[in-house]
Structure 1
């Protein structure tokens, strides 16, 4: 047992090395001792990775494909053994990794619930108590009494998820499993996930859904090619992760060197993130209210414009100009670009183009972050010409807020019919 009672999971200098052989016969020759020649090459799926997860904390793990996210989860849950290093777990784990991996296809749904429960260490009496809630959550009707081999893929994952999430674990480990089933079942899964957070459960969460990472996680670990790059706030790690996605891994430039005429009249984030190849450069940007005034404050329900000025240093084919709006936690709420809107942007070398996005501001009252970008394709490959993350903030002033992120502007009619 770890001496620090506040640690739920400790990953200490963990490495996982696989031997890769060119052909199966090389593996056999080595196993039988027929050759002393090295027939394999080593692949480090994880390279000296360390991090802690504290009790009651929700920690996300993000990274590009092949970064080692699933490998570290499998080592934590005991599915894999590390080549080097140690993992300490304090608490009962429920892992939503490979849903239904322990199911017997010949057994009925109910029989598989008891099989899985027994494998997790529950007595028959304990499973009896949980069975009604598991079946209610899965919601697959009379199919629970049919062999699992007759299930559709949707019914299979619903039952597997229901079993995994209703065993009252102290630690929940989730690997992309919240995207199973239809939209209504996904909503139920996320509701259960939120219940776990409110109950102070420990959650380790791997997902490509950056909005969910930003919304639910207290802290995020960023992996890249088996190495831990950094850990920190969801917003900072998601921004850094986006740089890895477009191979802009270097230290971000913290400030824009040039001072534009527009942005000198609004409040600009002094710590905005800027990167890109600069074949096209965003040299100025602004937020404009309904009266044409450059401002960081917009009244809800009025028209506003996000605009930017782009200088092209090379002839480009169909550049994509974009803006996005995020909340203060870094969750992307909305945004659009010229490709979605089917607007062509002329891009000739040494020309400057102004692009304006005008819309009605229906977001709820509060503060939001605005990002600008110019990207595109060259010879079929995606390129980031210039991006400005969290360039400025917008404060939406509202006299009436509704539920959620934005106002649907419903018109309500009430009639007395009797």
Structure 2
């Protein structure tokens, strides 16, 4: 702001001088009256509190909302209690002279439970010491209830998504088991036919069919145990990049031996995220194993898998990209919706991607895939932070904190 000077004296701008002249033209009593009217009629509760927590002044809204016969101290008005609150914004202001704000639980003048947002700030000083504090309380009960309902709707939506994944998975498992049984029945039929005809060639073909399906049963059993393990995510705060580095270190020797280059791209330094580390590890190893198989099935001379983790708009994404054989639209469509595998008999059951999808869904996330035949595939695990589970260890601590807080404040 440019100010004009007259000699050595700095003059305020013209608009400030006009306001100052208007102010000086008004009587002090008139200004005080207007301030009192403003204080008394703002649509929120105002109270001035001294160092003994006595309410020395309050407005009409405060008296209407928190009036209690015989009450003199703020905690008597706000909560109907006989001792100071464990968490007290006014106390904090007296200690450090700063503005403090938080949502508190209280009791209204009719005995109803209220949630109110209280903002406390210094009001008057004695020297450097805060003598009185002014508190502004706004009833946010409806806002808190609306937030609770929205959180409940989000939980129900997430649960519905998880159940949908489970339903698709169970249907896929049933379809897979049916295929195995049909294969065994077919092999047994051919084998019996070879016995009846005493035909070694038919016997060998039937036995080969039985062996192949027995191998599928073995692979199926191992993967099914892995699928069934850890139905509920046991989340704790972990470094996303650390898990990616761990998976890369685990697979690098095997991939080097297979002639596949593994590139771990340097990503952002990310805040810890609440996930089940074993579950996320399983997802990444499933995708990495599939990427290796896709590279080996392709005809490229230089085979490559790239891992990356990044975050944007509070959404964490893990990328597993390969330049392998790729998938056409039909294979992509089947990859997550049925018990499906492109691997040779006995080498895969299709449970890996189903397991990955289920674990990611348990974390409130999703799996995205882009691929083209002959051009490789990119799988992305998408985790919105807002939908991640609460860390298990912190849940217990938080529940204890809430319980103590409610006992203290009621």
TM-score range normalised by the length of the shorter chain: under 0.3
TM-score (norm 2): 0.26
Greater fraction helix: 2
- Higher share of residues assigned strand: 1
Query: Bigger radius of gyration, 1 or 2?
Result: 2
Higher relative contact order (CA 8 A, sep 6+): 1
